[in-house]
Amino acid sequence: MAERSDVWFRRFRRVARPRLRLVCLPHAGGSASTFRTWPRWLPEDVELLAVSLPGRQDRLGEDCVRDMGPLADAVTGALLPFLGEPLALFGHSMGASVAFEVAHRLETRQGVTPAALIVSGQQPPAHYRVNEAHLGGDSGLLAEVRRLGGEGAAFLNSPEMRELLMPAIRGDFALMGAYRPDPSLRIAAPVDAWVGNADCDVTVEETRAWAETTTGPFAYRVFDGDHFYLAAESAEFTAGLVERLTATAGTAVR
């Protein structure tokens, strides 16, 4: 079923004839605005589609999706109008798991192999550890968000911001707490797995194990930083992403 792409994606810089579209999925509690500055340093012919999830920002009045299947189905459906040009998928933490599920649906249901899947800061399906922070109520969730760090953790010190952000945090942690990935799933798309060398949640060994998810090329990379190593948009990270996207030109198949 097709979903409305104008609801599910934010395009911070429209590209008339993109060589490639980069679909970006945020971490738990994150939003499309996580990627608002990325078009400044992406190649001019790469258009960024930032996934806008229910329960936050301009979709604040909608209920969060608390089941991976319907969420991945909806994002896949919203991508249908964009399947004429090559797509690359990028997801961080929760977003990496969603991106993998979307890539699998694109291949098995639409016959479209993404030009690249870049997963960041997440365990692969066969090594996925269920996080039960949501079972501890808001206090447990707040403690977990602060443990992981990132720009969102500081916002939670404000009661007003907590009121705005907590619905998305509750929903996303409940989704990931219920997620049971199928370790047998394989995709043909090239997979790149990235992690920070001080990540408190994902090890380098687990990152390398993403190789088990693809029958295509695989590479992994370790960056300086913690779970949110990419938030600072360091020269190392931005150069690495641009390099990877440049290498995907024309590699998508249908």
The verdict on whether 92 is a catalytic residue reads: no
Catalytic residue among 93, 97, 104, 120: 93
The verdict on whether 184 is a catalytic residue reads: no
Please give the sequence-ordered ranges of beta strands (E in DSSP) within the chain, or none if there are none: 9-10, 20-25, 46-51, 87-92, 116-120, 191-196, 218-223
Coil, helix or strand at residue 89: strand
- In 129-151, which positions are buried (b, 16+ CB within 10 angstroms) versus exposed (e)? eebebbeeeeeebbebbeebbbe
- The one-letter code for the residue type at 90 is F
Q: Which structure tokens are listed for 215?
A: 């029958």
Count how many Cα atoms sit within 13 Å of the Cα of residue 119 in the half-sphere of its side chain.
Answer: 31
Pairing of strands 9-10, 46-51: antiparallel
Which residues are marked as active site? 93, 227
